[in-house]
Chains A and B, each alone.
Chain A
Amino acid sequence: MKYFQLVIGLYWKAYIPFFLLNILLFFVLHYLNISPYVLLLFVNLLMFYSVAERQERFHIQRFVLSLPISRLAYVLLYYVFILLYITLVGLLMWGGYELLHIFSSDRFTLQEIGSHVFVYVLFIVMLASIFIPLFFRFKPETIEARIAFFVSQLVLFTTFILANPGGDFPVDYFAQNQEKLIGFSISCFVAFVVSFVCSRQLVEKKVVL
């Protein structure tokens, strides 16, 4: 519990602006009848980057791991925190959506809303799984890391957009197919666990924090 207090204390402030941005963009874009998912993924990726960069700039790990906490506990709780954060984002979106649905039931069925948000949440989990260990490994404030980050981002989103000029591809693709949805969920879960194991190893072996 005391360790969790530490992780919340350290990171919640950094995540709040992105949390609000997530919720805001989601509803505004929906209101404008634009699919929000690609843009939202972009916001989340930027969030993981910005948190890691700030953390590095202020040498937060050096401070935290001088406190009586093990490297393992620190990484574990960071992952628990990310998972809770993503769950919270998903729940708020879903809840808000439900509310909207009461007033205008014409656009989506409840079933659709639920699976849309669920798929979106899975995408953030996947992003987190890929990028958190990378940020533990490479110092995100170096020029090389910045270039690598923006190039990878560009590739990722170009693929998304090229694969589906209509816009909603990744979400609908999984949301409309039960089997694919289950498969995707499992692979996200596995990716998250593997990601944790990698991060743990990286932090445990890190020579300079």
Chain B
Amino acid sequence: MDVIEVRNVSNRLGQFRIEDLNFSIPKGYVTGFIGQNGSGKTTTIQMIMDVIRPKQGEIEVFGSSNTNPEMKQRIGFVYDELYMYDNFTISHMHKFIAPLYESWDDSLFERYRRAFELPMKQKLKTFSKGMKMKTSLLFALAHDPELLIMDEPTAGLDPVFRRELMDLLQELMLDSQRTIFFSTHITNDLDRLADYIVFIDNGRIKLQKSMAEIEEEFHLIKGTKEQLTAIGRDAFLGLRETGQGFTGLFQGDSTPLASGNQEMVVEKPSLEDMMYLMKGKKGAW
């Protein structure tokens, strides 16, 4: 079952375009949303939350239109920044946010607040970027949401808390009803945690697959120029050529390619390799 369904969504905001977006987020799993900065991740996430509206297409959350505010009872959101007055405190925010959620749990709130080491009565303007992110997360988690949507939650966090956050997300995933969808450009975070990957580039979805499929289907191939001409450039999804040879991303069974060319290297690509190689070629526009 899919928790989020994005169908034929297009949008144009100034110079920036989103073109015919189609993807779905399966229930009970972690889906990583990857892409370069400026590729449309934030816009897409905010369209799912109905704070940006698409020009065309429709988005469904929990099987009904995302314009229905009731579905937000079941969502916890973390945006790329904490959108709150900087003279407010956590205690003040709690006063008006907690009553809005039917499933708000004060003991859960207190548990996370202590774990994140956040002060109740200190103004947000004194907070570091990491503390602000933790504050967002605190308010996102305290109503025990079925769906957690996060926009670059690890940006600005120190490596230790980043690992701790990943542990926390894994703990949340012990509940098979829970779904997590989060964007990041730090793909190391996802290599172990993510079950599915949605890759966006320049406002278009380039890839949507499970990590298992990605591991099986994609290969990173390195070889010489001669080998490249023998295989043909069209065989690759993405290619970078240097004076020494080439690195290409190949989809499918690579054994026939490699069999005749003993010097060719076939490796498993990292998500970063894939992002780099599948990125729209410059000059094509």
Contact = CB atoms under 8 A, between A and B. Distances in A.
A8 B83 contact: no
Nearest to A54: B85
B73 A68 contact: yes
Nearest to A70: B69
A66 B72 contact: yes
B84 A66 contact: no
Interface string A49-63: 000001000111111
B100 interface: yes
B96 A8 contact: yes
A5 B99 contact: yes
B104 to A, nearest CB: 10
Nearest to B97: A67
Interface in B47-69: 49-53, 55, 69
A61 B85 CA distance: 11
B73 A66 contact: no
B87 interface: yes
A67 B83 contact: no
A6 interface: yes
Contact of B72 (A1, A59, A68, A208): A68
A65 interface: yes
B100 A66 contact: no
Contacts, number: 72
A60 B52 CA distance: 14
B241 interface: no
A61 B49 CA distance: 12
A6 B83 contact: no
B79 interface: yes
Interface residues of A, number: 28
Interface string B76-93: 010101011111100011
Contact of B83 (A14, A60, A68, A71): A60
A135 to B, nearest CB: 16
Nearest to A58: B85
A123 B41 CA distance: 46
A5 B88 contact: no
B101 interface: yes
Interface in A1-56: 1-3, 5-6, 8-10, 13-14, 54
A1 B99 CA distance: 9
Given A58-B84, A62-B46, A62-B79, A69 B69 contact: yes
A207 interface: yes
B158 interface: no
A207 B53 contact: yes
A73 to B, nearest CB: 8
Contacts of B73: 68
B50 to A, nearest CB: 7
Interface in A59-114: 59-63, 65-71
A60 B101 contact: no
7 closest A-B pairs by beta carbon, nearest first, are: A9-B96, A63-B83, A2-B99, A59-B83, A68-B72, A70-B69, A209-B51
Given A67-B100, A69-B100, A208-B51, 8 more contacts: A2-B99, A5-B99, A6-B96, A13-B88, A66-B72, A67-B72, A68-B72, A207-B55
